[in-house]
């Protein structure tokens, strides 16, 4: 079975450009999480969805960040406009139930020049 | 906010040696989890601990949930080269929006063969 799928794996963009990161959770999972990993702050929860509905977006750093989940098999994290300090690895994870194991995707390494 | 203090930051050990790492917090967690992250991949769950005082093994890995629910340790016995990676502890916390994971900063493990 396929795990969590993220695309692209790497993204290099210039400051001010719009960036869209994509995630396909494991089929049947009803929770989807977006995390950001940096050397300075480690792994931080940005937002999570339950049955496609955003539950907690308090970790989203600024209004430049937005996330959507139009259906059970797809989610996007968008940064507009991007800034160099957004450079990080962004992970998507999904779980079947809130208290069950979260399965992480391979991540998208974002570099904003 | 909640913070997990994970130590040591890094370890460089000889193949065959045992490894020990731990996490402490000022917050009480309902569940403690230990993840491993390989280069270029997302974290993968190694062990989950659900009850204070619980001691759980998974092959060469042993982890314990502290009796105060504020700490946990992970031991790896007879290390091998494929144990190389970053190990994260995570505490599962109930909060106003339901349940979330708080991650430690990670322990980088290098094994000399």
The one-digit pLDDT tens for each residue of chain A (113 residues) are 689 999 999 999 999 999 999 999 999 999 999 999 998 889 999 999 999 999 999 999 889 999 999 999 999 999 999 999 999 999 999 999 888 889 999 999 999 99
How many inter-chain contacts (A to B, CB under 8 Å) are there?
Answer: 42
Looking at the complex, does the CB of residue B40 fall below 8 Å from at least one CB of chain A? yes
Minimal CA–CA distance to B91: which of B41, B57, B52, B37? B52
Q: Do A42 and B99 touch (CB under 8 A)?
A: no
**C-alpha–C-alpha distance, residues A46 and A36, integer Å:** 7
Q: In this complex, which of A43, A48, A56 lies closest to B103 when CB atoms are compared?
A: A43
Q: Which residues of B touch A102 (CB under 8 A)?
A: 45, 101
For B51-85, the pLDDT digits (tens) are: 999 999 999 999 999 999 999 999 999 999 999 99
Residues 6+ apart with CB under 8 A from B36: B43, B44, B46, B85, B86, B87, B88
Give the pLDDT confidence score for residue B113 in this predicted structure. 87
What's the whole-number average pLDDT of chain B? Answer: 93
Give the pLDDT confidence score for residue B99 in this predicted structure. 80
Q: Do A107 and B42 touch (CB under 8 A)?
A: yes
Looking at the complex, does the CB of residue B105 fall below 8 Å from at least one CB of chain A? yes
Q: Do A48 and B92 touch (CB under 8 A)?
A: no
Q: What is the dihedral of CA B45, B51, B53, B59, to 10 degrees?
A: -30
For B89-100, the pLDDT digits (tens) are: 999 888 888 888
What are A's interface residues with B at a Cβ cutoff of 8 A? 4, 42-45, 48, 50, 55-56, 58, 91, 93, 98-99, 101-107
DSSP-assigned letter for residue A85:
G
Contact A104, A23 (CB under 8 A): no
Question: Quick one: average pLDDT of B3-27?
Answer: 95
Q: Which residues of A touch B103 (CB under 8 A)?
A: 42-44
Mark residue B53 as left, alpha or beta (left: phi above 0; alpha: psi -120 to 50; beta: remaining). left
Give the pLDDT confidence score for residue A49 in this predicted structure. 97
Contact A45, A33 (CB under 8 A): yes
């Amino acid at each position: 079975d396929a795990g969590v799928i993220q695309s692209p794996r790497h993204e290099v963009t210039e400051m001010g450009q719009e960036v869209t990161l994509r995630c396909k959770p494991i089929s049947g999972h009803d929770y989807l999480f977006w995390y950001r990993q940096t050397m300075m702050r480690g792994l931080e929860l940005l937002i999570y969805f339950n049955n496609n509905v955003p539950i907690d977006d308090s970790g989203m750093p600024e209004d430049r960040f937005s996330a959507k989940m139009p259906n059970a098999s797809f989610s996007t994290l968008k940064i507009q406009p991007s800034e160099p300090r957004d450079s990080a690895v962004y992970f998507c994870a999904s779980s079947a139930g809130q208290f069950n194991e979260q399965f992480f995707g391979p991540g998208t390494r974002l570099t904003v020049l | 906010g909640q913070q997990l203090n994970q130590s040591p930051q890094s370890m460089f050990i000889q193949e065959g040696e045992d490894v020990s790492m731990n996490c402490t917090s000022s917050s009480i967690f309902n569940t403690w989890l230990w993840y491993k992250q390989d280069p270029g991949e997302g974290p993968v769950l190694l062990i989950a601990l659900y009850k204070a005082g619980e001691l759980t093994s998974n092959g060469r890995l042993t982890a314990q949930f502290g009796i105060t629910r504020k700490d946990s340790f992970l031991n790896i016995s007879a290390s091998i080269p494929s144990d190389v990676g970053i190990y994260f502890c995570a505490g599962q916390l109930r909060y106003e929006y339901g349940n979330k994971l708080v991650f430690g900063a990670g322990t980088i493990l290098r094994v000399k063969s």
